[in-house]
């Protein structure tokens, strides 16, 4: 849902500040696309019941209850859904209301992911966020009151002038809120954002690498002590509260996608929808698939993705599962890479599972990159 009340200074997502009429038109277009997804991407109607639904943004909680109900009813009418469906909606503090959260719950939403980022009001202003710490707490309480008991909070690390005490305070408040899932992402300065131009001018004062590592370690230490599982590089959950939708990505499984700028994966092809709202609308007026780019995924690329994504998880990559999907072994496809990383202690292989050791997670991106472009 590509709408926000304002654009954060670090954000390069496909999001817009738009009028209610533009938003209403977009909902019309999205509903039309949702109705066509199975015909386009599963023409023999072999799609299994949906296991997860994720409505991201932007800010989906800027929708009116009526707009959300239209989208939800279209999903209900178009797709079969599993009995234990996980349905997540992203929310920004300050945009939630008891009404919209009750409407979401009534339509089947059972998980909310709230973009907190920090509980320091000065830091919130410095990154362009409009909400206050009090509004974060209110959003959590509203979700619980609506009967949505699975709530996740997003935190950001490495913000301008952020200190270890700021991170500690945020963790204290996260734990007090009683949520079951926490994501903690390091700031990445992206092109075409205010932060990018400020950094080039020397106006952005970011924590040094040692402090950022200390922040990451503090998050891990305190959440593990509180009973959370560190199940993915940037994600922590109470047992059983892992994000099943995001596990679909990390396990390299197929997923439908709809909306401006959405990315989908059929298992054999990846596709990217048109980003610009006007062009997306024009495609829908012509009853066309609003796709900007699509490209086939070769077997080799799929195997590389399996390793790059799967090694992000504490569960690692299983020899048995890999062989079942590709009819070959990890050691045969990535022999040289595996041998080198094992010798360096950057990879382990025990009981048929490949993992990145916890102490090397901070250099994990370099490890994942080793599996790209391997020729067999």
Query: What is residue 41's predicted lDDT score, i.e. its pLDDT?
Result: 84
Write phi, then psi, for 130 (nearest 5 degrees): -95, -15
Query: What is residue 148's predicted lDDT score, i.e. its pLDDT?
Result: 98
Structure tokens of 262? 């959405």
- 184: which residues sit within 8 A by CB, 6+ positions away? 154, 155, 156, 157, 216, 219, 234, 235, 236
DSSP, residue by residue, 336-370:
HHHHHHHHTTS-EEETTEEE--GGGGGGHHHHHHT
The H-assigned helical ranges of the chain are: 20-41, 65-78, 98-107, 121-126, 133-145, 164-177, 194-200, 209-225, 244-250, 277-285, 299-310, 319-326, 330-333, 335-343, 364-369
CA torsion 220-156-16-19 (nearest 10°) is: 90
The answer to whether residue 287 scores a pLDDT higher than 60 is: yes
Q: Is-contact 30 39, C-beta < 8 A?
A: no
Q: d(Cα 343, Cα 330) in Å, to the nearest integer?
A: 16
The answer to whether residue 258 scores a pLDDT higher than 70 is: yes
Secondary structure percentages of the chain, helix, strand, coil, to 5? 45, 20, 35
The answer to whether residue 45 scores a pLDDT higher than 80 is: no
Q: d(Cα 48, Cα 371) in Å, to the nearest integer?
A: 31
The answer to whether residue 44 scores a pLDDT higher than 80 is: no
The answer to whether residue 132 scores a pLDDT higher than 80 is: yes
Query: What is residue 364's predicted lDDT score, i.e. its pLDDT?
Result: 85
Query: What is residue 76's predicted lDDT score, i.e. its pLDDT?
Result: 96
Which stretch of DSSP H or E encloses residue 294? Answer: strand 291-296
**Res. 375 pLDDT band, cuts 50 70 90:** low
The answer to whether residue 104 scores a pLDDT higher than 60 is: yes
Query: What is residue 302's predicted lDDT score, i.e. its pLDDT?
Result: 97
Closest CA to 157 of 203, 222, 238: 222
Mean pLDDT of 104-124: 98
Q: Which residue has the higher pLDDT, 18 or 87?
A: 87
Query: What is residue 183's predicted lDDT score, i.e. its pLDDT?
Result: 99
Q: Is-contact 271 291, C-beta < 8 A?
A: yes
Residue 335 CA, distance from chain mean position: 31
Mean pLDDT of 206-235: 97
Domains in the chain: boundaries:
20-250, 317-369
Mean pLDDT of 200-224: 96
Residue 308 CA, distance from chain mean position: 16
The answer to whether residue 190 scores a pLDDT higher than 90 is: yes
Cross-strand bridge partners of residue 296: 269
| Least confident interval from 8-22, 37-51, 142-156, 255-269 | 37-51
Mean pLDDT of 29-55: 87
Structure tokens of 313? 């998880």
Query: What is residue 363's predicted lDDT score, i.e. its pLDDT?
Result: 80
CATH architecture, domain 20-250: Alpha-Beta Barrel (3.20)
Q: What percent of the chain has pLDDT over 90?
A: 93
Q: Which residue has the higher pLDDT, 88 or 6?
A: 88
Query: What is residue 10's predicted lDDT score, i.e. its pLDDT?
Result: 95
Q: Look up the pTM and report it.
A: 0.95
373 CB neighbour count, 10 Å cutoff: 9
The answer to whether residue 206 scores a pLDDT higher than 60 is: yes
For 323-344, the pLDDT digits (tens) are 999 999 999 999 999 999 999 9
Query: What is residue 361's predicted lDDT score, i.e. its pLDDT?
Result: 80
| Least confident interval from 44-58, 124-138, 154-168 | 44-58
| Least confident interval from 16-25, 294-303, 354-363 | 354-363
Residue-averaged pLDDT of the chain = 95
Closest CA to 152 of 83, 228, 203: 228
Query: What is residue 38's predicted lDDT score, i.e. its pLDDT?
Result: 85
For 229-240, the pLDDT digits (tens) are 999 999 999 999
Structure tokens of 185? 């992402």
Query: What is residue 43's predicted lDDT score, i.e. its pLDDT?
Result: 65
Closest CA to 248 of 263, 261, 228: 263
């Amino acid at each position: 849902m590509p709408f926000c009340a304002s654009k954060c200074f670090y954000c390069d997502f496909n999001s817009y500040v738009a009028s209610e009429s533009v938003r209403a038109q977009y909902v019309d277009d999205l509903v039309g696309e949702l109705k066509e997804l199975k015909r386009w991407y599963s023409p023999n109607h072999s799609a299994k019941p949906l296991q997860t639904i994720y409505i991201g943004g932007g800010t989906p909680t800027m929708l009116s209850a009526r707009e959300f109900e239209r989208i939800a009813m279209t999903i209900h009418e178009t797709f079969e859904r599993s009995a234990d469906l996980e349905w997540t909606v992203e929310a920004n503090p300050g945009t939630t209301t008891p009404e919209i959260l009750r409407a979401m719950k009534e339509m089947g939403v059972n998980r909310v992911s709230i973009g907190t980022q920090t509980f320091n009001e000065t830091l919130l202003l410095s990154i362009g966020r409009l909400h206050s710490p009090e509004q974060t707490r209110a959003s959590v309480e509203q979700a619980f009151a609506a009967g949505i008991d699975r709530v996740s909070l997003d935190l950001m690390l490495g913000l301008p002038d952020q200190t270890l005490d700021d991170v500690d305070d945020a963790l204290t408040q996260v734990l007090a809120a009683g949520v079951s899932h926490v994501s903690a992402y390091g700031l990445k300065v992206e092109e075409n954002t205010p932060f990018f131009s400020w950094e080039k001018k020397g106006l952005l004062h970011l924590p040094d690498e040692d402090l950022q590592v200390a922040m990451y370690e503090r998050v891990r230490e305190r959440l593990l002590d509180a009973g959370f599982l560190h199940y993915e590089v940037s994600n922590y959950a109470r047992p059983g509260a892992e994000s099943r939708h995001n596990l679909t990505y990390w396990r390299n499984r197929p997923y439908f996608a709809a909306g401006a700028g959405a990315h989908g994966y059929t298992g054999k092809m990846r596709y990217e929808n048109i980003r610009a709202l006007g062009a997306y609308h024009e495609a829908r007026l012509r009853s066309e698939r609003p796709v900007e780019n699509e490209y086939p995924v070769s077997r080799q690329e799929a195997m590389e993705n399996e390793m790059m994504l799967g090694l992000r998880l504490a569960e690692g990559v299983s020899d048995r599962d890999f062989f079942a999907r590709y009819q070959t072994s990890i050691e045969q496809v990535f022999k040289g890479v595996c041998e080198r990383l094992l010798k360096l202690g950057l990879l382990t292989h025990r009981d048929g599972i490949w993992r990145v050791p916890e102490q090397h997670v901070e250099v994990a991106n370099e490890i994942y990159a080793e599996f790209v472009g391997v020729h067999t």
